[in-house]
Structure 1
Amino acid sequence: MKYLSVITIVIALIGSSFVWAPTNSDEEGINFETLSFEEAIQKAKKENKLIFLDAYAVWCGPCKMMDRTTFKSKKVGDVFNENFINIKIDMEKGEGPAIARRYQVRAYPTMMLINGEGKVEKRILGAVRDTQLLQEVNDFVK
Structure 2
Amino acid sequence: MLLLPVFFSVVYLKADPENLNITSKTVSADKIDFVENDWNAAVKKASAQKKYIFVDCYATWCGPCKMLKIQTFSNKKVADFFNDKFVNVSIDMEKGQGPKLAELWKIQAYPTLIIFDENAKPVLGTMGFMKADELMRFAQEALAKK
Query: Structure 1 length as normaliser, TM-score?
Result: 0.82
Match of 1:2?
5
- Aligned-partner residue type, residue 33 of structure 2: N
Q: 1:29 to 1:35 in 2, by over 3 A?
A: same
The equivalent of 1:90 in structure 2 is: 92
Q: Which residue of 2 aligns with 1:125?
A: 127
Q: Distance in 1 between matches of 2:72 and 2:89?
A: 15
Distance 2:124 2:33 in 1: 20
Higher helix share: 1
Q: TM-score scaled to structure 2, two decimals?
A: 0.80
**Displaced runs of 4+ in structure 1, greater than 4 A?**
22-27
Post-superposition offset of 1:93: 0.1
For residue 37 of structure 1, what is the aligned residue in structure 2? Answer: 39
One-letter code of the match for 2:126? I
% identical aligned pairs = 35
**Number of matched residues?**
134
Matched position secondary structure for 1:116? coil
Alpha-carbon offset, residue 23 of structure 1: 6.0
Please give the residue correspondences for 1:1-142 in structure 2 after superposition, counting only pairs within 5 Å.
2-3=5-6, 5=7, 7-8=8-9, 11-12=10-11, 28-34=30-36, 36-139=38-141, 140=143
Give unpaired runs (5+ residues) of structure 2. none
Say if 1:110 and 1:123, in contact at 8 Å, map to a contact too: yes
What's the Cα RMSD here?
Answer: 2.6
Structure 1 unmatched runs, 5+: none
